[in-house]
A and B are shown apart, each in its own frame.
Chain A
Amino acid sequence: MDYALIPEGVKRCSFGKFVLWISAVSLLLLWGAAGALLCWIKGLNQTNMNDYFGFGIWITLDLAVIALGAGAFFTGFLRYIIGIDELKNIVNFAVIIGFICYSSALAILGLDVGQPLRGWFIFWHTNIHSMLAEVAFCITCYFCVLCIEYLPLLLENRQLKKIPSLNLFGHHLHRIVAVFAATGTFLSFFHQGSLGGMYGVLYARPFAFRDGFFIWPWTFFLFILSAIAAGPSFTILITWITQKITRKKLVKKNVIALLAKISGWLLLGYLFFKIADTIYWATVTAPARGFTFMDFYRNQPYGLWLFILEIGICGVIPAIILLTRRGRENNSWLILACFLNCTGVVINRFVFTVQTLALPVLPFDRFVTYFPSWQEWASSLAVIAYGIIVISLSYRYLPVFPQEKELNPA
């Protein structure tokens, strides 16, 4: 039925099967939409956020998807600015993943602000000293850049390509994609950093507060490093899932191995600075504010296990696997490493958003926990459904993987 839209020389499942798949995933999206609508219509009382937890699952998710979506800007940077040619075989998919992550982040922020119609206030009444303002500006601009980077791929569709003006426009956009990749790198550097900086400057929250360089706390740099370390791993992970679902080989092993190696070295760099930062924070920064390291981990469920899970299991172990050739060449180990790397960055963002707020900072404060309401869960999980739908549509109708034909001869 939709044969004319499918790229030439590749095989796709039947239209009926595809519609069934999209319909099944859409159920999750609808559930999320119901939760989101309730939050918009009735207000943020639909969530379990309160005076203690002004930041909940939405902010954790926001920070996590933005970190995981860093694969788009970093792969683009490596491909178009550094000139690593092999990455041309995966950069399209990285852009799609980035597009999904950033559009999801903006949608979730639209919920989190409670009154999205007032979202423009942050742009019009700019507080130039606010890291959050910088994040808002950079994320919005970078999302525009991602749309522009996605556009040439959309215009590669078999039918759209037949329209001369669109074909030429896509071609000329693609010719100057390096300019957009450089702009995306500039924007990503600052918003990834400022997301970390926002927590590092919270001097009334000794768990998050860090010293730093000039106006930037160390968390500024750590967030950039962790994002560029996890982003490529997330791209590999999603590529692997897509390959499993489609039962096809879509990207050659050497491309994946290269991306994994880059991810591994970046993760090693991140871990070095993260561990150094943690030691300095535990021995100098926190004691200067009257806290010992264990004060922050005395309260369950956010005990020391979370710290070991983040740095050790989801940090050191994937770094070792990704840095060894045998680890990268073994598919199971590689995917496990990518999964752990991504889980590590999600835990890191959770720790900075939720654990920071949970810990009491005054003698009369009490430790409180937070568990999201179904509306928060539904709208958060809808992001996954949205991602699946965008990837499914892109994979079916666009030439996302340049090596697909070669790897799957008819």
Chain B
Amino acid sequence: MFPFCFEWQWDAGHFLFMGSLYMVLTVVGLGLMYAGIRTFLDLKKGDH
């Protein structure tokens, strides 16, 4: 068992398939986080 994959197995297929999913989710999450943090910093600076 592995987070978000109930029947996780240590093989190439799982690494490729789930790895691609986690990569996408990471990119999307980091993008949103970047926008959120920049917004917070700009608001704090009063830059608007």
Q: Is A187 an interface residue (CB 8 A)?
A: yes
Q: CB-defined interface of B12-38 with A at 8 Å, one 1/0 digit per residue?
A: 011011101100110110011011101
Q: Is A167 an interface residue (CB 8 A)?
A: yes
**Tally of chain A residues near chain B (CB < 8 A):** 28
In-complex Cβ contact of B48 among A125, A126, A148, A168 (8 A): A168
Q: Is A169 an interface residue (CB 8 A)?
A: yes
What residues of chain A lie closer than 8 Å to B6, measured between beta carbons? 124-126
What residues of chain B lie closer than 8 Å to A183, measured between beta carbons? 24, 27-28, 31
Kindly specify which of A67-75, A81-89, A171-179, A353-361 makes contact with the partner chain: A171-179
A126 touches B7 (CB 8 A): yes
**Which B residue's beta carbon lies closest to that of A142?**
B24
In-complex Cβ contact of B17 among A128, A145, A164, A169 (8 A): A128
Q: Is A247 an interface residue (CB 8 A)?
A: no
Minimum CB–CB distance from A270 to chain B (whole Å) comes to 26
A133 to B48, CA, bound (A): 44
Q: Is A107 an interface residue (CB 8 A)?
A: no
A399 to B9, CA, bound (A): 49
In-complex Cβ contact of A148 among B17, B18, B25, B28 (8 A): B28
Minimum CB–CB distance from B24 to chain A (whole Å) comes to 5
User: For residues 127 through 162 of chain A, which have their beta carbon under 8 Å from a beta carbon of chain B?
Assistant: 128-129, 133-134, 137, 141, 144-145, 148
What residues of chain B lie closer than 8 Å to A133, measured between beta carbons? 17
A190 to B8, CA, bound (A): 22
A173 to B42, CA, bound (A): 14
A172 touches B13 (CB 8 A): no
Q: Is A180 an interface residue (CB 8 A)?
A: yes
A301 to B21, CA, bound (A): 42
B18 touches A126 (CB 8 A): yes
B38 touches A167 (CB 8 A): no
Q: Is A332 an interface residue (CB 8 A)?
A: no
- In the complex, which of the residues B4, B18, B38 has the most CB atoms of chain A within 10 Å of its own CB atom? B38
What residues of chain A lie closer than 8 Å to B43, measured between beta carbons? 164-165, 168
19 CB < 8 A contacts A-B? A126-B17, A128-B14, A133-B17, A134-B17, A141-B21, A141-B25, A148-B31, A148-B32, A164-B43, A164-B48, A165-B43, A173-B32, A176-B31, A176-B35, A179-B27, A180-B28, A183-B27, A183-B31, A186-B24
Instruction: A129-B13, A172-B34, A172-B42 are known; give 18 further A-B pairs, CB within 8 A.
Output: A124-B4, A125-B6, A128-B17, A133-B17, A141-B24, A144-B28, A165-B39, A169-B39, A172-B35, A173-B32, A173-B35, A176-B31, A179-B27, A180-B28, A183-B24, A183-B28, A186-B24, A187-B24
Report B's interface with A, CB cutoff 8 A: 4-7, 13-14, 16-18, 20-21, 24-25, 27-28, 31-32, 34-36, 38-39, 42-43, 48
Top 6 A-B pairs, shortest CB-CB distance? A172-B35, A128-B17, A164-B48, A172-B38, A168-B39, A169-B39
